[in-house]
Amino acid sequence: MKVFSASLASLASLASLAFPLEAQQIRVLLDYIDKPQFTLEVPDGGLIVTREEGELEVSSSSLLEVDEGMIFAAKDGRHFLWKGKPYRGRLEIKKMPDGRLGLVNSLEMEDYLYGVLPSEMDTKTWPIETLKAQAVVSRSYAYYMIGVDPMAPFNVGTKTSHQVYFGAAFEDSRAKEAVDSTSGEVLRDAGGAIMPGYFHSCCGGRTEDARELWSGAASQAVLGVSDIGACKKSPHYSWVTSLPVDDLENALKQLGYDFQPPIRGFLIGEFTRSGRVVSLKVIAQDGRLTVPTDKLRLVLGPNWIKSTKLTQIKSQGGRYLIYGNGWGHGAGLCQWGAKGMAERSINYKKILKRYFPKATIGNFENNGR
């Protein structure tokens, strides 16, 4: 076991090391590094560590003292193991905007997508045209995020707030087929810009205008559409959850509302064009509160309010029964709808046209033209 360190004084020279992010690579923030030492494994192989003094090969499972600017690559293109999961590409220690050090996985875009697809969909059983649609959408989202700030220390995280990525852990042949057969394809808007490829699990019948959810010019082109009942087979199409009264009252207090319990009822009103509920009127003993539905969903969690497409909330035996349609924010591609369409023999290009009516499918490399 060896311990290596790079001094803080060397940061300036480390910054000049020639490891620019190439156009077709993406940086994924895997973790924050809160301890000065950590362990990286490369099964049956060596680890190449690049730091101020140059490259050094160390044995697998070395205990490494980390510092900003260090880069780790597995010998002979092998995968790393980080917290038991394999990763392609290389790992870099970068300073995050909040000053902490982050462990960033930098890898080829198409390799990244091999890992995203099985993390986001059932690549073993879902139709290949659905997987292809997801590949194009995920690629568009990733390139869009790179374009937002090309010099950022990372472009995306690993969770649903971006798109889920478990590294190479669940890669399979069908995910690779979907990525390879759509190689480089992205969604472009009328002006030729890469569109943010938003997606969600189930729209509940109609997708949301992205501008209802996010500001910025890019969201304007992602419009809400009907998906003609394609996602009706989803277990999330129509749902009801049963939430203890105390949990809901505590969530409202957490959001800063001051009211006299118990709550007497809820009124649902102010809908977006797609039928999602902008805010709820909560009737307490001492008056009414107006509560933004997305904020309540965030505090309670998506297992209780699966989407803001709510239809009814009623009290029953010390609990609230919450009824709604769909799962997720609702903008862009509806994954269950894309499955339903592929099962009706609709190909991925037509699926994408349904969910992104303003988009054309272009190639990343030739700028889509």
> What are the residues binding Zn ion (CB under 5 A)?
203, 227, 231, 334, 337
167 contacts 116 by C-beta, under 8 angstroms: no
Residue nearer to Zn ion on the CB measure, 154 or 355: 355
Q: Identify whether the C-beta of residue 36 lies closer than 8 Å to the C-beta of residue 6.
A: no
> In the complex with Zn ion, which residue's Cβ is closer, 205 or 368?
205
Min dist. Cβ of residue 230 to Zn ion (A): 6
Query: By three-state DSSP, how is residue 262 classified?
Result: coil
Task: Name the nearest CA neighbour of 269 among 244, 247, 288.
Answer: 288
Tokens of 81: 């193991």
Least separation in angstroms between CB 133 and Zn ion: 13
Q: At its nearest, how many Å lie between Zn ion and the CB of residue 192?
A: 28
For Zn ion, give the closer residue by CB, 52 or 343.
343
Rounded to 5°, the CA angle 196-200-202 comes to 145
What minimum distance in Å lies between the beta carbon of 203 and Zn ion?
Answer: 3
Closest to Zn ion by CB, 102 vs 330, is: 330
Question: CB of 157: closest distance to Zn ion in angstroms?
Answer: 25
The half-sphere exposure of 119 on its side-chain side, counting CA atoms within 13 A, is 18
Which residue lies nearer to Zn ion by CB, 152 or 228?
A: 228
CB of 359 to Zn ion, least distance (A): 17
Burial class (CB in 10 A: 0-12, 13-18, 19+), 157: middle
- Rounded to a whole number of angstroms, the minimum distance from the CB of residue 207 to Zn ion is 7
Q: How many CA atoms lie within 13 A of 166 on its CB side?
A: 11
Q: How many CA atoms lie within 13 A of 67 on its CB side?
A: 16
- In the complex with Zn ion, which residue's Cβ is closer, 279 or 307? 307
Q: Tell which residue, 338, 365, 364, has the closest CA to residue 140.
A: 364
What does each C-alpha distance from 120 to 87, 131, 201, 316 come to in angstroms?
Answer: 17, 10, 9, 35
Least distance (Å) between residue 290 CB and Zn ion: 29
CB of 209 to Zn ion, least distance (A): 15
- Nearest-angstrom CA–CA distance, 369 and 91: 34
Residue nearer to Zn ion on the CB measure, 102 or 337: 337
> Are residues 190 and 221 in contact, defined by beta-carbon separation less than 8 angstroms?
yes
Nearer to Zn ion, 62 or 307 (CB): 307
Q: Helices 348-355 and 128-148: crossing angle, nearest 10°?
A: 50
Interstrand relation of 199-200 and 333-334 (parallel, antiparallel or unpaired): parallel
**Nearest distance, CB of residue 185 and Zn ion, angstroms:** 22
Report the 10 Å Cβ neighbour count for 28.
24
Select 189 or 227, whichever has its Cβ closest to Zn ion.
227
Q: Which is nearer to Zn ion, 182 or 201 (CB)?
A: 201
- Local structure of 359: helix, strand or coil: coil
Distances (CA, A) of 108 to 176, 230, 265: 14, 33, 52
- By the 8 A CB rule, do 21 and 142 touch? no
